Structure 1
């Protein structure tokens, strides 16, 4: 064998042995949901195995559910500063980047299938690019479902008129607070981890969350009524720390991007399939579940119009983006 060929063969063997000798990279993935939530489940069953298989074990994925790595604000801070490689959060950054309010925009979609179509379309990619421009230390990879939000209460809640005078725990952002207030209720911000106790002791009468959250947080044990308004179809976003991600090979970056998108699609499909089952489960546990009549649904839309008018007036991005979303067939 010629000397050149011998040297080439040796270099190939050295390179191959270096690859196999390389220590795997371990990435931490954090969320605030238990493993029964469709988004958390998709991280376990799609994202983790797809990344590990696609990188041939060179990237290991450790998943931490149920706020193990901190609350939503902690996770957002961690993925920005790199103490967490991947986080699944909602919109804790919407005061810094108001376009993220789109995740909480009321009565934006025709149904859950429409919401899935929107957040697996180029609209998601456009917002992802704008998001990275605003937050260079983070890449947003995909958009999955949080839930279609409903109202629950210990007091009668079977019509629009029943909101008046009730106290609801709402997330601490102007959209959620404004909805409760426009409906004649009062709003109080309470962390999710303290919500069960607040409902049990009567600090508040009710709250708004998707049925999947009502079940996962056992809120049905301290609530009697559920009003299935579906006033917001909220999203959860998979985000990755950019300095970590940008150092990976192009091949491994693609594996992670594809895994994130596949996990979100799986989560949308599983969430959509779970709604009827969740409704029946809550009825079986003794909750009174009421679907608003079309007339009552329109009353809710009309009553919160001061809120949506204010948002349109204050946010230049809002009208073009909501129009684009509603136009998707």
Structure 2
């Protein structure tokens, strides 16, 4: 097992706690959840490049494990230890329930062109979410998609019955657990650092992630059956500590907004075709990999279970969730 896959939360937490603001050499710091060359890393370095080319500021980027796992870096950002953080709603959904909207299955289409247009034009994404994040001390810079979610398992699955009793790792948010309950599986919330080992030892029977992450993290090595269920896209968000951001000059605030826009445009170009390239790499690396793309009839068997997840979302989020879901659907209808 590669060393990057055997971090434990305890070890990572100890690493993060051993650092202080004075330990950093750059004046601004940005931490994300992925490895070198992955989508969040591409975004972070495009952001860094714009900042440094257009100001006297320097920005240090920290990848997965360097300051801890997703929950660790979010805590550091909210406490002002680092200025910028990238975290998926898959983790922030625990403290921002409305963000779990991205885990209502079959709400987002899987067509890449439609998804990208939706993120560009959505009122829910670009106007409503910034207000929700601000309530938690965060300046939302950009929400952006990374790729279609793909399930890997210990055997090919083509129906909800195929997930019976399978322990599927999910990110630590309640609605994603509800999704896999609806699909017939046993959802198992775990931080990323425990996933590879859990699949390797049989503690887990499967997991879900975009295909580039399945390739980058080597998950296909221990969970070789890829299942395209068409149920959603992986979404993430870049943010700044709000006290930090609000205390900046108007010029620096605009610098950061411009950097976020530049990084977003660059990253949206990067992800086009990325899934196909990653799948080709996986298939070239392993003869054990199988690829199952569900037919529309097979997808319908999963899709008909989605309404119970949507109902659970509304129960979890109340009026805020209902308003967001209504706008989300209107935005999707506009781009379809």
TM-score by length of 1: 0.85
Match of 1:19 in 2: none
Matched, 1:217 2:202: no
5 Å matches for 1:7-26? 26=27
1:222 & 1:52 partners in 2: Cα distance?
40
Distance 1:94 1:237 in 2: 12
The answer to whether 1:325 aligns with 2:331 is yes
Q: How does 1:92-107 map to 2 (within 5 A)?
A: 92-107=91-106
Are 2:73 and 1:60 equivalent residues in the alignment?
Answer: no
Judging changes above 3 Å, is the alpha-carbon distance between structure 1 residues 69 and 279 closer, same or farther for their aligned structure 2 residues? same
Taking the aligned partners of 2:133 and 2:217, their CA distance within structure 1 comes to: 33
CA distance in 1, matches of 2:213, 2:181: 22
Counterpart for residue 40 of structure 2: 39
Secondary structure at 1:236 match in 2: strand
2:292 corresponds, among 256, 268, 290, to 290
**Could you tell me whether the CA contact under 8 Å between 2:106 and 2:306 is conserved in 1?**
no
1:265 maps to 2:271: no
Partner SS, residue 272 of structure 2: helix
Matched-pair contact (CA < 8 Å) for 2:69–2:193? no
CA RMSD of aligned residues (A): 2.0
Deviation at residue 158 of structure 1 after TM alignment = 4.1
Q: Which moved more, 1:290-299 or 1:168-177?
A: 168-177
| Superimposed CA distance per residue, residues 39-68 of structure 1 (whole angstroms, 9 cap, x where no aligned partner) | 211221x1111111111xx11011111231
Match of 1:227? 227
TM-score when scaled to structure 2? 0.83
Paired residues for 1:228-247 under 5 Å: 228-247=228-247
Q: How far, CA to CA, are the matches of 2:119 and 2:255 in structure 1?
A: 20
- Cα 1:184–1:263 change in 2 (3 A) is same
1:128-167 equivalence runs, <5 A: 128-135=129-136, 137-167=137-167
CA distance in 2, matches of 1:96, 1:170: 16
Structure 2 unaligned runs (5+)? 1-24
Other structure's SS at 2:155 match = coil
After superposition, what is the alpha-carbon deviation per residue over 1:203-261, rounded to whole angstroms, capped at 9, x for unaligned?
Answer: 11111111111111101111121101132212111101122222322122111111112
Higher-Rg structure is: 1
Structure 2 SS opposite 1:59: coil
Partners of 1:93 and 1:202 lie apart in 2 by 27
- Alpha-carbon deviation of 1:132? 4.5
Listed as ranges, the matches of 1:169-184 within 5 Å are 169-184=169-184
Following superposition, the deviation at residue 25 of structure 1 comes to 6.6
- Number of residue pairs matched by the alignment: 302
Aligned to 2:186: 186
Aligned partners of 1:145 and 1:264 also within 8 Å: no
Deviation of 1:94 after TM superposition, in Å, equals 2.4
- Cα deviation for residue 83 of structure 1 reads 0.3
